[in-house]
Amino acid sequence: MTYQLETATHPETLRRVAIDPVSRVEGHGKVTILLDDQNKVHQVRLHIVEFRGFEKFIQGRPYWEVPVMVQRLCGICPVSHHLAASKALDIIVGARKLTPAAEKLRRLMHYGQMLQSHALHFFHLCSPDLLFGFDSDVTQRNIVGVAMAHPETAKRGVLLRKFGQEVIRVTAGKRVHGTGAVPGGMNKSLTVAERDELLKDVYHIIQWSRDAVHLIQKVHTQDPGLYNSFGIFRSNFMSIVGHNGDLDFYHGTLRARDDNGKMIFDGVDYQQYDKYIEEEVRPWSYMKFPFFKSIGKEHGWYKVGPLARVQNCNQISTPFAEHERKEFVDYAGGTPMHAPLAYHWTRMIEMLHAAEVIKELLHDDDLLSNDLMVEGERRIGEPIAPGAVTRRQPFVAPAEVRRDLAHEQVQLSHFDAVLLHDLVGRQRAHGDALPDLAGDVLIDEAVIEQIAQHLRDTGDGERGAHEGLRRARYSSSGRVSRTAGLGLFFGAAGSGAAM
């Protein structure tokens, strides 16, 4: 199969300008522009040049490894990937509802990450352009120039990010690529000393966040001709919203609006996202191109991130951030703002909200509780006839861990299933090896083949275990119980996660 890389007419006659790499972004990319002799632009593309492959290489891995593995997608926002995978795997271990301590600790971790990531983006990456102007001297238009010309602003940017990183450290174990969230809950709580250390600084963090909102508001309103129109494009919006339509970063339902603010869908369970969203791939970028199925790929694409979230919610639950949200909505005249430079304003509103939520959570004694893990009945899928095998395409984690984990749904009864620690993805015939089995459990297809082969080798599935194999008991009720001394195990696979 061949793909046409260029869509411009007669690209061989056009001049190519490449910006490679794109600087001051979280990730790797390049921009290519095709122009004619009159400098008229015929084609512009943003290329995401990183091939990641996470969707494939997590297949067959022990499930408890996935939250730690997928966060390697990014060194700046690893917590988002870490929590998305943990939430997906909560479903597998039957943790439909976490303990209050685990839920709040995860929220604290995530809001710490939002604060530090937003501070990094605004102060380190964007403030040189915003404070000096896009056409200013490049020798000054950088973070060193900001530190020299605006030392207090630069200092606050560093300390804001440092505080967010400390929140992540005390909840996840370390500042980057921590291990705090596990399927079923958390593996550590806060100590009194850790909580008190964060409480010492949190009120300064809130005030500095308020000042950051006012800084970007001033920059934006002093030059509305630029900031309201530069690079503007209209599109749909999508985000999650929490209880009563509140702004929420950790959990909620999907809400989408069109470019005029009219609702497209609302209250959609994120596990059902693939009924509403489809992905397109194009040959010149590793980035996916998602769109709303109901509208189609030509016009169904949509904005996400701060500009979408702040305009998509009904309100923000914390007072300072809600006040600033209303100021932004009033400035936009009650209609959706589509200007890309407005992302900075809404990003600082979100940073302020994150700081306020962190303060609220730090006053909650549940953070000190050791009631961190929960187990329960696994209720994934509908019962099927004994011995039947059907393929299903599960939801794992939007944008982070996509739908490449194919699983099989089978019926099992009481027996010790032999599971490989590292699985090979064989998919050959195994139905004849699983006769007369009852109970509804989801098992990875590679596991099915390994079980089938073991039953063929041993006759009863309980003898002949080899080095590197682990055992787990599956009951007809679907409950998974751990074999003593083995800790967590791999075998069952299901679906679920959050944005």
Output the 3-class SS for the chain.
CCCCCCCCCCHHHCEEEEECCCCCCCCCEEEEEEECCCCCEEEEEEEECCCCCHHHHCCCCCHHHHHHHHHHHCCCCHHHHHHHHHHHHHHHCCCCCCCHHHHHHHHHHHHHHHHHHHHHHHHHHHHHHHHHCCCCCCCCCCHHHHHHHCHHHHHHHHHHHHHHHHHHHHHHCCCCCCCCEECCEECCCCCHHHHHHHHHHHHHHHHHHHHHHHHHHHHHHHCHHHHCCCCCCCCEEEEEECHHHEECCCCCEEEEECCCCCEEEEEECHHHHHHCEEEECCCCCCCCEEEECCCCCCCCCEECCHHHHHHHCCECCCHHHHHHHHHHHHHCCCCCCCCCCHHHHHHHHHHHHHHHHHHHHHCCHHHHCCCCECCCCCCCCCCCCCCCCEEECCCCECCCECCCCCEEEEECCCEEEEEECCCCCCCCCCHHHCCCCCCEEEEEHHHHHHHHHHHHHHCCCCCCCCCCEEEEEECCCCCEEECCCCCCCCCECCCCCCC
In the block, which residue shows the tokens 């299933």? 417
Whether 352 and 321 have beta carbons less than 8 Å apart is answered as yes
**Rounded to 5°, angle at Cα 68 from 117 and 125:** 20
Backbone angles phi, psi at 421, to 5 degrees: -65, -45
Distance CA 67, CA 59 (A): 13
List the pLDDT tens digit at each of the 499 positions of the chain: 456 778 888 898 999 999 999 888 777 899 999 999 999 999 999 999 888 888 888 888 888 899 999 998 887 789 999 999 999 999 888 888 999 999 999 999 999 999 999 999 999 999 999 999 999 999 999 999 999 999 999 999 999 999 999 999 999 999 999 999 999 999 999 999 999 999 999 999 999 999 999 999 999 999 999 999 999 999 999 999 998 999 999 999 999 999 999 999 999 999 899 999 999 999 999 989 999 999 999 999 999 999 999 999 999 999 999 999 999 999 999 899 999 999 999 999 999 999 999 999 999 999 999 999 997 776 554 333 333 223 223 223 333 322 222 232 333 322 223 232 222 232 233 333 333 333 333 444 454 455 555 555 555 443 333 333 333 333 333 333 322 222 222 222 222 222 2
Beta bridge partners of 45: 32
Whether 111 and 354 have beta carbons less than 8 Å apart is answered as yes
Q: Which amino acid type is present at position 35? A: L
Cα-to-chain-centroid distance, residue 7: 32
Q: What pLDDT is attached to residue 324? A: 98
Q: Which amino acid type is present at position 445? A: E
**pTM recorded for the entire structure:** 0.77
- What is the token pair recorded at 57? 């290489």
Whether 151 and 51 have beta carbons less than 8 Å apart is answered as no
- What is the token pair recorded at 41? 């632009």
The HSE-up count of residue 245 (CA atoms within 13 Å, CB side) is 12
Q: What pLDDT is attached to residue 481? A: 30
The HSE-up count of residue 411 (CA atoms within 13 Å, CB side) is 15
Whether 454 and 461 have beta carbons less than 8 Å apart is answered as yes
Whether 254 and 497 have beta carbons less than 8 Å apart is answered as no
Closest of 350, 288, 358 to residue 121, by C-alpha: 350
Q: What pLDDT is attached to residue 26? A: 72
In which order are the strands placed within the sheet that holds 390-392? Answer: 390-392, 407-411, 440-444
Distance CA 268, CA 153 (A): 41
Q: At what angle do helices 319-331 and 342-362 cross, to 10 degrees?
A: 160
Whether 100 and 211 have beta carbons less than 8 Å apart is answered as no
CA distances from 354 to 110, 120, 172, 177, 281 (A): 9, 14, 17, 20, 34
Whether 151 and 139 have beta carbons less than 8 Å apart is answered as no
Q: What pLDDT is attached to residue 455? A: 53
CA torsion, ordered 201, 206, 211, 214, to nearest 10 deg = 170
Distance CA 244, CA 252 (A): 10
Distance CA 457, CA 205 (A): 63
